[in-house]
Every structure is written in C-alpha cells, then in structure tokens.
Chains A and B, each alone.
Chain A
Amino acid sequence: MIHRIVVGAHYGLKDWLAQRVTAIIMAAYSLFLAIVLAAVQPVSFEAWRNIFTFGPVKFFTFVFGLSLLLHAWIGIRDLWMDYVQPVSVRLTLHVLTIVALIGYVGWFVTVLWRV
C-alpha cells in the first residue's frame, strides 16, 4: 500500500511556479509603489490617502495583497514541512497559518476599500 501523508510533499510544481509568479508580481508592485512614493512624497494624511483613492493603485495594491497570501502560504508551509515532523502538529500549524493569512487579506481589503 502506498503510504500517503496529508501534510507531506505533493510534488508541487504548481506551488513552486505560483511562488515565483507571485514573487515577480510583488517585486513589480514594490518598484511601482517606490516610484509613486518618490514622486508624491506624501507627508500629510491627505496626500498619503489620495494615493490609494486612485483606482489603478487600489487595483494593484489588492493584487499585491492576494499575491502575498499565496506566496507566504507556500513559503511558510515549506518551512513547517522542513522543520516539523509529527503529522498532527504540522497539520495544526498549516491550518493556523492559512487562517492567519486569510484573515489578514480580509483585513487588508476592508482597509483598502474604505479609503
């Protein structure tokens, strides 16, 4: 019988690729935001807030948030798989990680869309 572990490796080429694609998206966004911040130099509340009222900025900021969710999930999951062996502990940590990340995205989106 093949011994399968639910929290074991899934030979995740897709995950590997997703982590790379999200890395590129986040890197591009970081450069984009750096340019915007350098150009606007927001020191007041109004100037800072105005950046995120602009539709395209909101859009890309949201895409950044979703990329971060996927990227950090894969990254932290790999970490648990490297350092934590007992299946029950590992599963618990996986669940806690995904719960935290999904909660963060919800929080991020509410902040972003109230601007």
Chain B
Amino acid sequence: MTATCQTSVRKRPKHLGLSAILFQIKLPLPGKLSILHRASGVLLFLLLAPLLAFFQMSLTSPEAFASFQGYAAHPIIKAIFAVLIWAYMHHFCAGIRFLLLDAHTGLDLPSARRSAFLVFAASLLLTALLCWRILL
C-alpha cells in the first residue's frame, strides 16, 4: 500500500538541470523557433556596443571609414557579422510571426507548425543572401 502511495506523490516543483534542458527535452519546431527568438534578441543586445562603435567609425571621417573597412575585412569580424545577420533575420521573421499570432492569426496547430517552418526557411534564406551580398 505505502509503495503505491509513494509512487503517485511526485516532487514538485521539478527543477531541470542544464543537461536535461539541452539534451533530454525535445522541443517541437515552433518551440525551437521561440527559444531562438529569445537567444537572438539577447545576442543582438549584447552586440549593441560593438555595433555602435562600428556605426560611429563608418560615419565620422574618411580615415575612420577606412579603418572600419579594415576591421570588416577580418575573417573573425566577418564570422561575427554572419552570426549577427542570422540573429537579426531570425528575430525579424520570428517576431513578425509572433505579432501575427498576437493578432490571433494562424493559432491552430497545423498553421503554427507551417508558419514556424516558413520562418526558418525565410530567415535562413535571407541570411544566406545577405552574407553573400555583404560579406563575400
């Protein structure tokens, strides 16, 4: 008797460790989109200072513009720009999807799955296009 009682009483709240979050829990596509929207927002926030520094360099004087171009030609800076372009494109596309959901458009599961797929397709395509046009 006591044994059956004990198994039915679960410990709450259940705290998930990092490994559970990273490797055990499998999110559906809209869930992946959502957490990446958060991650991309944080990334954009963290990179605001270097972006502002580049913005300033590019607009201050021809000399500063030239040194900005020097930095921008560096492979590591290019890689960071590529990540940044992805973050903006993902945040932008997923953000518009969230705005539509907030306006009660496409709330049913099949539509939500389809729009999540479309967002991934669009943002990855735009990222590839912009990287090709700007970075290569």
Contact = CB atoms under 8 A, between A and B. Distances in A.
A111 B42 contact: no
A115 B95 CA distance: 31
A45 B48 contact: no
B38 A104 contact: no
Contacts of A23: 95, 99
Contacts of A72: 41, 44-45, 48
A35 B7 CA distance: 62
A48 B99 contact: no
A24 B99 contact: yes
Interface of A, helix, strand, loop or mixed by DSSP: helix
B60 to A, nearest CB: 7
Given A27-B96, A30-B92, A45 B62 contact: yes
Contact of B59 (A48, A75, A76, A104): A48
Interface string B42-56: 101100110010011
A95 to B, nearest CB: 16
Interface of B: 38, 41-42, 44-45, 48-49, 52, 55-56, 58-62, 65-66, 88, 92, 95-96, 99, 102
Interface of A: 20, 23-24, 27, 30, 45, 48-49, 52, 72, 75-76, 79, 100, 104, 107-108, 111, 114-115
